[in-house]
A and B are shown apart, each in its own frame.
Chain A
Amino acid sequence: MFRRHKPSVAEHKKDFAVHGAALPGPQNDMRSFFNLSQLVLSAGQLRSPPILRHSKITYFEVEILDAQSKRQICVVDKVPPSFSLLDVKHKFHKTCPQWNPSRIGLRLERNGPYLKDSISIQSLAVSSIITLYFTDLGQQVTWTTVFLTEYSGPLLIYLLFYIRLSSIYAEEESTESFRHPVVHLACLCHCLHYVRHLLETLFVHKISGGHTPLKNMIKGCAFYWGFTSWIAYYVNHPRYTPPSFGNRQVIFAALAFLMCEAGNHFINVALVQQNHSASFPSPTYNPFTWLFTLVSCPNYTYEIGSWISFTVMTQTLPVGIFAFLMAIQMSLWAQKKHRLYVKKYNMGALRKTAMIPFIF
């Protein structure tokens, strides 16, 4: 607009100059004032406009195909390059509301790996249209929900067996009043263990907010709840046999149990604090953290220690089987974490083991 009017004003002036200053005085002034005002009006903003000319933001289009049938489900358009994959998933959710963003699995190739939410669209783009393959990952639940369900189940189930619900031990012996003190102690320890887990899930752990398929939660709950029922049945049974070595065995095992519980708690607190720092957690004045010098996942060490102590305390084979299976599972987790830590924190020279000092 500025440019358009400029020549006309200049032309005017040129005409004027060509015709010379032949016009009478006051009319001349009026004319020039008129021209000036027109100039001012046509100039628009006095600031010079930014030289943006033809630069538009290149919007991407994300075409989403079904991974199995290759049919197009929808096209998410007007995706600015600053978007992350999670934002695209949210937009996709708006067009197809039956899939929550957490259950949308997107990948670049039909059989390739799933893309992470944090990836930016910019890094995926080869042209202005990006093709992604969609898979419905199924009903998802948050990790917090999973842990809370997995830990509150055993807490309640054990108590149901402890109070000797009539449908479980339907024998005349169950009305017998004498129960060896170790049974009460075992109940206390078991509840302490799971209450600690629940409180740590709620207040200590910073869970990343990711999701996991519902199937995993069902499997985990079946494992924990099933084994707790099995254990609780034998420990609270009317025909329960107390440990062979008597009170000494019970007290020793109970102390070991408490120590392992405390150790597990302090390690979890230390690991949460570690997330803020860049280095591997180091042992502090707290003696329970000294295990960090020998082992990279001492929380699993203490957990196994708790369960072995509980086995010795109750002298019950099913508890031993449970402890054994947990040890296998935790050693797999510990190995994975150990490898991650060695890479991330360059710990190769320290010769730490994953879970059991000097052995494994």
Chain B
Amino acid sequence: MAAPGSGGAGRAENGYGSQRRKGPGALATTYLVIYNVVMTAGWLVIAVGIVRAYLTKGSYHSLYYSIEKPLKFFQTGALLEILHCAFGIVPSSVVLTAFQVMSRVFLTWAVTHSVKEVQNEDSVLLFVVAWTITEIIRYSFYTFSLLNHLPYLIKWARYTLFIVLYPMGVSGELLTIYAALPFVRQAGLYSISLPNKYNFSFDYYTFLILVMISYIPTF
């Protein structure tokens, strides 16, 4: 989900304006700067990849294949942010960050990668573009914040563009899951039914529908 959650910032921004919590140490700050710079670069690669593929192909369909590998790599790399919160070098809640990152990783691997038929859909392009722009802004925001040199443009972009990007991302994600449903049902993907030795059953189709419904309260 293209939510502008706080991830790599080293400073707690609260209403009192002053730095209430101790920031991370020098080593942690260096590591976080490197991490955020690498992530910004990665998502820029994905952005450039999309634009190049569009210019080469002449249409905006089926652009997923050109950026499949960097997308998977850098989106999965976001899992490190959960560790950042767990180790306390980032002042965010572990549960919240885990929730956001897992939802992204779920969409990347358990839906788009697993259901190959869905990769041609335009909804995939919709959420990939939304994620790309959001992540570039977000990671550069964190980089600049850590270096205490935040340009107003980035701050404005982060808190304004999400009004467009968040609904765009959510729509792309929901449409992709919806498109994947018939293929999941047909292949019985990731599903197990009774009777079996462990007396357990799981229906991935129903699970995906529940995931779609769960978007409503988190909206």
Contacts and interface: CB of A to CB of B under 8 A. Distances in A.
A240 B195 contact: yes
A239 B195 contact: yes
Contacts of B194: 234, 237, 239-240
B195 A315 contact: no
For the residues of B in contact with A, the DSSP-based class is loop
B199 A234 contact: yes
A244 interface: yes
Interface of A: 234-235, 237, 239-241, 244, 314-318
Contacts of A237: 194, 199
Contacts of B195: 239-241
Interface residues of B, number: 8
B196 interface: yes
A182 B201 CA distance: 20
Interface string B178-219: 000000000000000011111111000000000000000000
Contacts of B199: 234-235, 237, 240-241, 314-318
Nearest to B201: A234
Contact of A318 (B196, B197, B200): B200
Contacts, number: 29
A254 to B, nearest CB: 17
Nearest to A231: B199
A112 to B, nearest CB: 15
B196 A316 contact: no
Contacts of A234: 194, 199-201
Interface of B: 194-201
B159 to A, nearest CB: 25
A315 B197 contact: yes
22 contacts: A234-B194, A234-B199, A234-B200, A234-B201, A237-B194, A237-B199, A239-B194, A239-B195, A240-B194, A240-B199, A241-B195, A241-B196, A241-B199, A244-B197, A314-B199, A315-B197, A315-B198, A315-B199, A316-B198, A316-B200, A317-B198, A318-B199
Contacts of B198: 315-317
A317 B197 CA distance: 9
Contacts of A315: 197-199
Nearest to A318: B200
B157 to A, nearest CB: 33
Interface centre among B195, B196, B198, by most A CB within 10 Å? B198
Contacts of A239: 194-195
Nearest to B195: A239
Contacts of B200: 234, 316-318
A244 to B, nearest CB: 6
Nearest to A316: B199
A241 B201 CA distance: 12
Nearest to B198: A317
A315 B198 CA distance: 6
Given A237-B199, A240-B194, A241-B199, 8 more contacts: A234-B199, A234-B200, A235-B199, A239-B194, A241-B195, A241-B196, A315-B197, A317-B198
Contacts of A235: 199
Contacts of A318: 199-200
Nearest to B194: A239
B190 to A, nearest CB: 15
A194 to B, nearest CB: 21
A184 to B, nearest CB: 16
A314 B200 CA distance: 12
Nearest to A321: B200
Nearest to B202: A317
A204 B198 CA distance: 37
A333 B57 CA distance: 60
B91 to A, nearest CB: 17
Contacts of B201: 234
A2 B194 CA distance: 100
B21 to A, nearest CB: 14
Interface centre among B196, B197, B199, B200, by most A CB within 10 Å? B199
